[in-house]
């Protein structure tokens, strides 16, 4: 059995570009940036960004063109596809894309909702509050060991598991 599935949660890097296929079906293209936080062996905290090309067809193309803007938070579920072609200089080129199967919009914020005036400032304040409360969990994070003896009695003994 084979599986080709991708889940991407990140911010849109450019407004969706919409075109029509010869069949009349809409297709949209846009980019998403995802961030990875990690600590080096020397203890230095680093952030690394990865950029993904997204392609939506039909109804998803329509939704993405109407509601997504640069900076919007979005989750895409889809499959990975690599296209190749020969450019005008005769060089073979490759492009890896995620073909969207489902799209989940993030919360409305000042960039995506088109708010003006006071609503704009309120949205900025809400967004800042949300960003301050979202924890960043690093890869290979190990929570500190709990040395309290009263929690020892609550632990599950492997021998007590019936299977």
- Count of domains for the chain: 1
11-33 b/e with 16+ CB inside 10 Å = b?
A: bbbebbebeeeeeeebbbbbbbe
Report residue 142's pLDDT band, with 50, 70 and 90 as the boundaries. Answer: low
pLDDT per position as a tens digit, 42-54? 989 999 999 999 9
| Residue 122 main-chain phi, psi, to 5 deg | -60, -45
CA distance 88 to 156: 65
Report for 9-13, 122-126, 136-140: range of highest mean pLDDT: 9-13
Q: Is 99 inside a domain boundary?
A: yes
CA distance 103 to 61: 10
Residue range 21-25: mean pLDDT, rounded: 91
Report the candidate in 100, 111, 125 with the shortest Cα–Cα distance to residue 28.
100
Q: Is 111 inside a domain boundary?
A: no
Q: Is 161 inside a domain boundary?
A: no
Report the pLDDT value the prediction gives residue 162, as an integer from 0 to 100: 73
Enclosing domain of residue 10: 6-106
Report residue 1's pLDDT band, with 50, 70 and 90 as the boundaries. Answer: confident
Higher pLDDT, 96 or 117: 96
Token output for 89: 């200089």
pTM (2 d.p.): 0.64
pLDDT per position as a tens digit, 94-103? 999 999 999 9
Report residue 120's pLDDT band, with 50, 70 and 90 as the boundaries. Answer: very low
Q: Is 131 inside a domain boundary?
A: no
Neighbours of 112 (CB within 10 A): 20
Q: Is 140 inside a domain boundary?
A: no
Strands (E), 16-128: 17-20, 26-39, 45-57, 73-86, 92-105
Task: Identify the CATH number of the domain in which residue 54 sits.
Answer: 2.40.50.140
Residue range 143-152: mean pLDDT, rounded: 57
């Amino acid at each position: 059995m084979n599986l080709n599935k991708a889940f991407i949660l990140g911010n849109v890097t450019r407004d969706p570009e919409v075109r029509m296929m010869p069949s009349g079906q809409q297709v949209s293209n846009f980019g998403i940036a995802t961030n990875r936080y990690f600590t080096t062996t020397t203890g230095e905290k680093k952030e690394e960004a990865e950029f993904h090309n997204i392609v939506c067809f039909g109804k998803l193309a329509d939704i993405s063109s109407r509601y997504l803007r640069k900076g919007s938070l979005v989750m895409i579920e889809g499959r990975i596809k690599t296209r190749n072609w020969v450019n005008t200089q005769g060089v073979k080129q490759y492009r890896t894309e995620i073909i969207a199967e489902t799209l989940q919009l993030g919360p409305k914020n000042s960039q995506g909702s088109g708010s003006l005036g006071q609503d704009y400032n309120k949205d900025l304040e809400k967004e800042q509050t949300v960003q301050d409360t979202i924890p960043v969990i690093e890869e290979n994070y190990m929570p500190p060991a709990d040395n309290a003896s009263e929690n020892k009695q609550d632990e599950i003994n492997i021998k007590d598991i019936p299977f």
